[in-house]
C-alpha cells in the first residue's frame, strides 16, 4: 500500500495555483478548497468497501454497488472545516467529528482545545481533514486521538504538505495514509510552508491581519 499519494492531476495543479496566489479572495479561496477537497477525496475513497446490491431500474433488474464502509470525517479546526461539505457530498452517510488544535504562535507546537471524539464503536475509516501539513505536529496530535478511539484505518487529506510534515507523520504513524495535492520543499523560521499559501484558516475565514 502506498503511504503517501501526491495527487498528480492537471486540475489539482490548476486550482492549487489559484489557491496559493496572494490576491485570491476568501470567497474564491473557499470555493477552490472545496474543489481540491473533492479531488483528493476521489483518490482517498478508491478502496472503500462496497457490496453488490440488487435494484430495479424502470426497465429491468440489475446488480449495482453500495458502499458499506462506516466512514467518519474528522476536520481539524479551523481550516479543516472548509473540506467537510464537499466530502460529505461524495460520502453522504459519513459521520463528522470535530477536533480543535491550534499552533502556539511562539513555539509552533500544537495545542488541543476541543475534542468530542466519542467513546462508542469506532468507524471503519477516518478521513482526517486539514489543508496544511507543516511541521506535522497538529496532524500527529490528531492521529493519536483518533487511534485512542480505536480506529484502524486513518487517511489524512491535506492540500499542501511540507517534506518535514510528511516525514513526521510517516515516521510516527507508519500506518496512516496521506493524500496531498502538492508537497512543498521548505518551512520558514515561523514554520510556515514555503512556497505554501500563508495561513489557511485566516484565508478561509477572512481573518487575515498580516501576509508576511
Tell me which residues touch ligand PRP (CB under 6 A).
Answer: 76-79, 101-103, 108, 110, 130, 132-139, 165, 191, 199-201
Q: Which is nearer to ligand URA, 179 or 192 (CB)?
A: 192
Binding-site member from 136, 145, 192, 204 for ligand URA (CB under 6 A): 192
Strand extents, DSSP E, the chain:
4-6, 50-56, 61-67, 71-77, 95-96, 99-103, 110-115, 125-129, 132-133, 153-162, 177-184, 186-187, 193-194
Contact letters (x/-) for ligand URA, 57-76, by CB under 6 A? --------------------
Q: Which does 196 bind (CB under 5 to 8 A by kind): ligand URA, ligand PRP, none?
A: ligand URA
Residue 179 binding ligand URA, by CB under 6 A: no
Whole-number Cα distances in Å, 15 to 19, 39, 79, 120:
6, 10, 17, 38
Binding-site member from 7, 81, 161, 199 for ligand URA (CB under 6 A): 199
Q: Which does 74 bind (CB under 5 to 8 A by kind): ligand URA, ligand PRP, none?
A: none
What string of DSSP letters covers 139-188? HHHHHHHHHHHT-SEEEEEEEEEEHHHHHHHHHH-TT-EEEEEEEESEE-
- The one segment of 16-24, 65-73, 119-127, 192-200 that binds ligand URA by CB under 6 A: 192-200
Whole-number Cα distances in Å, 18 to 10, 11, 15, 38:
13, 11, 5, 16
- The one segment of 19-27, 93-101, 113-121, 188-196 that binds ligand URA by CB under 6 A: 188-196
Amino acid at each position: 500500500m502506498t503511504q503517501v499519494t501526491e495527487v498528480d492531476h492537471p486540475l489539482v495543479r490548476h486550482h492549487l495555483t489559484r489557491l496559493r496566489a496572494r490576491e485570491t479572495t476568501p470567497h474564491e479561496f473557499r470555493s477552490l478548497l472545496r474543489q481540491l477537497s473533492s479531488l483528493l477525496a476521489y483518490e482517498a475513497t478508491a478502496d472503500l468497501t462496497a457490496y453488490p446490491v440488487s435494484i430495479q431500474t424502470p426497465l429491468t433488474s440489475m446488480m449495482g454497488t453500495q458502499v458499506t464502509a462506516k466512514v467518519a470525517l474528522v476536520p481539524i479546526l479551523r481550516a479543516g472545516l472548509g473540506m467537510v461539505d464537499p466530502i460529505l457530498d461524495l460520502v453522504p452517510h459519513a459521520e463528522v467529528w470535530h477536533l480543535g488544535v491550534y499552533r502556539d504562535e511562539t513555539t509552533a507546537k500544537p495545542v488541543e482545545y476541543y475534542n468530542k471524539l466519542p467513546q462508542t464503536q469506532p468507524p471503519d475509516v477516518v478521513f482526517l481533514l486539514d489543508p496544511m501539513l507543516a511541521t506535522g505536529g497538529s496532524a500527529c496530535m490528531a492521529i493519536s486521538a483518533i487511534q485512542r478511539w480505536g480506529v484502524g484505518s486513518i487517511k489524512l487529506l491535506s492540500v499542501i504538505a511540507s517534506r518535514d510534515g510528511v516525514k513526521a507523520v510517516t515516521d510516527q504513524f507508519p500506518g496512516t495514509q496521506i493524500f496531498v495535492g502538492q508537497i512543498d520543499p521548505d518551512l520558514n523560521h515561523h514554520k510556515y510552508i514555503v512556497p505554501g499559501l500563508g495561513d489557511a484558516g485566516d484565508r478561509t475565514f477572512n481573518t487575515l491581519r498580516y501576509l508576511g
